[in-house]
Amino acid sequence: MSYQSIRQIRDDLAAKKISSLEITRSYLERIKALEPKLNAFISLTEEQALQQAQAADQLIADGNAGLLTGVPIAHKDIFCTKGVRTSCASHMLDSFVSPYDATLVQNMAQAGVVMLGKTNMDEFAMGSSNETSWYGPVKNPWDTDRVPGGSSGGSAAAVAARMVPGATATDTGGSIRQPASLCGVTGLKPTYGRVSRYGMIAFASSLDQAGPIAPSAEDCALLLEAMAGFDPLDSTSVDRPVPAYSQQLEQPLEGKKLGLPKEYFAGGVSAELEPVIEAALKEFEQAGAELVEISLPNADLAIPTYYVVAPAECSTNLSRFDGVRYGHRCDNPRDLEDMYSRSRGEGFGDEVKRRILVGTFVLSSGFYDAYYRQAQKIRRLIKQDFVSAFEQVDFVVSPSALSTAFRFGEKTADPVEMYREDLYTIPANLAGLPALSLPCGQINNLPVGLQLVGNYFCESQLLSAAHQYQQRTDWHLKLPQVNGESL
């Protein structure tokens, strides 16, 4: 039983062509068959999923179905799930079972979804390749010798391999869009504050944002409609109505202006990606959109700015993991200082330690003004660049990633080279803007993604533009091929 979209599943459930129990069992079987090859999951919640599926079937039979009743999904293992391990792919939280649900998890449950399990990720969402997970790297289903991207690589790989029809994810500097690009699926980072962060284990609080990964923009619209909304438990949550995103997908592209930043397109896009991106832009033109050259003059400062701000917030947020209240505690500590030191040393991986050290340094006395304060000033300039751009255009367009999926170990020896992977995605996080990655082509059987950045709270327009493109193309329908056959 193979489904290409959440919409199709929802329609078949409503028409009683299939039961939630049947489709849930089908996906669980597929997960078990592919998991040894891909390592996309940390936890599988089979018993709970079957119970939820039975309850969903009863709701459908009684005529009480919600937006996504009976549709199976997976949650990234950064969201707290009551009674289920929430590890953040870290040894530090390997034994942590959350006593409550994140607001996003609650919202999705109220919409009727069935949770199949928790997906693998970079440790504490720190990474661009999913190689930092305590549970081992996720494999890209298009080529298992290559990375799926990060940090939401487990969610992206699971959706690409159709182990799940959709998944939740988080994006701090590109962690939804970059893996979506490398795995050939659609991923949306909403406006900062659009989706509650309560119960989402924090990496960098002013940058983190939850969003959906699914095969298509239409499916992302359904997922976002379920997960978004004001939350009084999150002080950064924005109190404004949630549009019916899934019913606003037919906005025409005719007359829309797509901004091409000269900092990216004037010799900035790699020769490998250039023809694929050009073909995608031509498709938008043929649909009536206009291409306009714009400037984001501070774009080249986005990565150094991010790698001051994000580690600083990471250093603060991760200070709570000390081996006292929950999480990993070392054996037989000599004293309190020894317990703190060894518990954190044993519990955190190298990349997490690296970012904690950088963050602590830039916040320290004598360096705060020189680094952190300056980074926040530049962040303001980056935001203003986008504000100016949106006075001229409707969307800002770029590749989603620097390249197609790279091989395992190719960039781990050089952290700076790894950090450059988020060149196109980081600016939207610094500015708090919504951004979407959609499949737009392939190079040597590896997916390429196109990124659209929209103005604040313009998710509806972003999703509609992506949907219109996907009505004209079939890149989002292509499945990973191994020896000429679909997984």
Which residues have a catalytic role annotated? Answer: 76, 151, 175
The Cα–Cα gap between 6 and 459 comes to 19
Any bridge partners for residue 365, and if so which? none
Task: Concatenate the DSSP letters of all residues of 123-159 into one string.
Answer: GGG--SSS---TT-PPPBTTBTTB---SSSHHHHHHH
Contacts of 372 (CB under 8 A, 6+ apart): 308, 309, 312, 362, 363
Number of H helices, E strands in the chain: 16, 13
Phi/psi at 278 (5° precision): -60, -40
For residue 225, give both structure tokens.
């409609």
**What is the distance between the alpha carbons of residues 115 and 76, in angstroms, rounded to a whole number?**
11
Side-chain-side CA neighbours of 1 within 13 Å: the count stands at: 19
Alpha-carbon distances, residue 337 vs 189, 323, 327, 352 (angstroms): 40, 11, 16, 20
Alpha carbon of 247 to those of 92, 113, 470, 473: distances in Å?
42, 19, 16, 21
Give CA–CA dist 98/78, Å, rounded. 11
Residue 33: how many other CB atoms lie within 10 Å? 12
Taking the C-alpha atoms of residue 261 and residue 427, their distance in angstroms, rounded to an integer, is 12
CA distance 54 to 20: 7
CB atoms under 10 Å from CB of 117, counted, come to 30
